[in-house]
Amino acid sequence: MSQDPELAEEPEPVGFGRRRVLGLVAGGAATAGAGLGAGAAALVQNEQSPEPQRPGRAWETVRGTGPGQPGIAEAPPAHLRLLAFDLEPAAAKAALTAWTNLAAELAAGQADLGLAPAALTVTAGLGQSLFAKLGRPVPGQLTMPSFAGDRLEEQRGGGDVLLQVCAEDPMVVAFAAEKLRRVPGTRLRWQQSGFRPTAAASVNPAATARNLMGQLDGTANPAPGSGLFDSAVWAQPSGTTFLVYRRIRMLLGTWHDTPPAVRERVIGRRLTDGAPLTGKAESDPPELNRRDAGGEYVIAADAHIRLANPGVNRGARMLRRGYSYDDGPEDAGLVFLAFQADPRTAFVPVQERLAASDALNRFTVHTGSGVYLVPPASGTCVGAAVLGL
């Protein structure tokens, strides 16, 4: 859910051409940590990067910037739909080509339905099962270990291909998803919707959003265009990245029945403004070595922001683009999405630390998981080069 600046002691767009087509995702987790509880590994970024203002995004066409697919570096729109598919091997190239073409067409708007572009992006990620089906070597970055406390449900994770569909208008997302589902030779494995505060409903659209726990979520992400962003997000070849997805159910009844002071201790941040318990403002770096008059750490030893901090995780960082979800009574929480250059040195070690001793674990359950290679935005068939198509 949240990502913290480093330890104080340690300095530390729409209608895109076919070469800028598909793009998948993690966006944010501030105070409660990007990966929430039993391995919320998402609080790992440095450099505060407030989301840009989003006026008029209903009419915006996202064309993508840099070498990666759209839907990674841009400000996250308000609505999300994840679509995971299994493919027939013989139909893989045709399906990926069709999705590449559809992504470009949908980003320009759906005039036949009277729908504006609404900053729509479609981002494609490739799962390890697709490499295996096509007889290709499986990249080591796609191997995800199990974590303590996981209660993963088979129908909520995995898949040959994951499409991340984002837009400011839920109607645009719904109609785009319908068209993407109709591509021949594919079978929908699972889907998940998510949402963030809309620009229209926000007093300040650039402010850090809150999640369903009421915590500021997404406090510190590496800023697009910065050296930190490039090193944290992009792998080789240029524009390649890896997406980690986790579906994290929040035990909201238990959480909201817990006294506010205890909730703040669990996270290590104030509820009111997201400031670390050692600071005055949301962007203040947490002072992890500060103790109170009784000799206890002000930010507890098992506080989420301590365990997820880059300063205690060898500088591990990710770009989070998280969304809330609400699938009915007793099933609401966070769709954690994080882009990174290598999950083996970013998400995995942080998640292992969180799963072992994060105080947030007793308020969350991880029910879905996946890791996907997100290839560069080039060519008329996304992933053709890496898959040998």
Task: Provide the token pair at 208.
Answer: 């850090």
Which stretches of the chain are assigned E, i.e. beta strand? Answer: 79-87, 121-126, 161-167, 186-195, 241-250, 319-320, 323-326, 332-340, 364-374
Sign of the alpha-carbon torsion through 74, 76, 79, 84? positive
Q: Do the Cβ atoms of 61 and 109 come closer than 8 Å?
A: yes
Three-state DSSP class for 246? strand
Would you mind telling me the total number of residues written for the chain in this entry? 389
Q: Nearest CA to 308 among 344, 355, 274, 342?
A: 355
Task: Provide the token pair at 137.
Answer: 């070597």
Beta partners for 123?
Answer: 164
Q: Nearest CA to 30 among 5, 2, 51?
A: 2
Angle (deg, nearest 10), helices 170-181 and 92-107: 160
Task: Provide the token pair at 334.
Answer: 């966070």
Backbone angles phi, psi at 194, to 5 degrees: -150, 170
- Catalytic site includes residue 112: no
Task: Provide the token pair at 241.
Answer: 């990245």
Task: Provide the token pair at 10.
Answer: 């340690």
Three-state DSSP class for 32? coil
* CA 92, chain centre distance (Å): 26
Catalytic choice (4, 160, 169, 217): 217
Written as one string, the DSSP assignment of 153-201 is: -GGGS--SEEEEEEES-HHHHHHHHHHHHT-TTEEEEEEEEEE---TTT
Residue 76 Rama label (left phi>0; alpha psi -120 to 50; beta)? beta
Three-state DSSP class for 343? coil
294 Cβ partners below 8 Å, 6+ apart? none
Which residues are tagged catalytic? 217
